[in-house]
Structure 1
Amino acid sequence: MKTKILPKIVLMFSLVSIVFAACTTYQEPVPAATMPPQNTEIPVNPTGEVVTRELPDKFDKLTPIAPIGKEPIDMTPISPTDLPLIFQDIAEQAMTALAEKLSIQKDQIALISVQSVVWSDSSLGCPQPDMNYLMVLTDGYRVVLVVDDEAYYYHANQRGYGLLCENPNPPYSEGAVDR
């Protein structure tokens, strides 16, 4: 009886060894990196040429261009009564909000432009720190006002909610402009 069990045990042990051997991978040893001897100098500039950080003369002749999305604003004031009705309401709302903020009369405010836009989220282009906003395209308006040569931006949605924006972000897309 012992003679029948021994070949089975040897066969089983052999099969298990083959399975374990098949599961392992062979990795070739990585050759050691060769380093230069300690006292060998490594040349910084083998040609001996002096390296300078000055720009070539051809760069002096380049004309700077305006950043994309920061086009100059035409600062010619317009009258709210010259606007379509939908823009008149939003312009009046913006001028009232700015007059209250600065404690001035509305006739001291110059209306520069009213534009329908699409905002990239519900912040209306005026994100506040530590606030979360819905990431949805939001139809609205951008109004540019000027008082004493300083521009103010009023951003609103189409439902009438608006706010003066101190650090405005550009809209996702721009629609109709009524200067």
Structure 2
Amino acid sequence: MIKSLQRLGVCLMGIALFGCSSVKVSDYAQEKPTLDLSTYFNGTIDAHGIFTDRSDKVVKRFKVVIDAKWTVQNGKKVGVLDEAFIYSDGTTQRRVWTLTEIAPNRYKGTASDVVGEALGEVAGNALNWSYTLALPVDGKVYNVQFNDWMYQMDDKVMLNKAKMSKFGIYLGEVTLAFYKR
């Protein structure tokens, strides 16, 4: 019995240590090309994506066309990303993000279905966003947390992987490939 409890304790400590280790955006500081949000997300960008549930089953496929424009307001870069979604089941959705540079390489973002503000940081070729999205599912709306990572591959392509959770429980992932026209 004592050996079983000791093994359980060792396993739990391992899980706790693994759960505490996480990637930081600064880990990508030396990666190229260097991501500049106002340069990449400017003009028209096409994206194709999937949502996979926690068993990795593809639940939804979609296409997004993004119309992005930036201005300078009060000395800060401000971008509007107008996203038009078309889902594989024929439904459509629109999300308009307003992104504001709050410090060098740090951004906040708002959209009508984002609860509060998204906070993001850029380093090297990567952007990490954290936010809560009010997600409609079967006639109900759930506030779901997103840990969203984007990686610029070259001047045309960016890859995006966002993990979704609620109350710390993993729900699934959104994977997107962006292509700048």
TM-score between both structures, scaled by the size of structure 2: 0.28
Bigger radius of gyration among the two: 1
**More helix by proportion, 1 or 2?**
1
Q: Name the one with the larger strand percent.
A: 2
Higher relative contact order (Cα pairs below 8 Å, separated by 6+ residues): 2
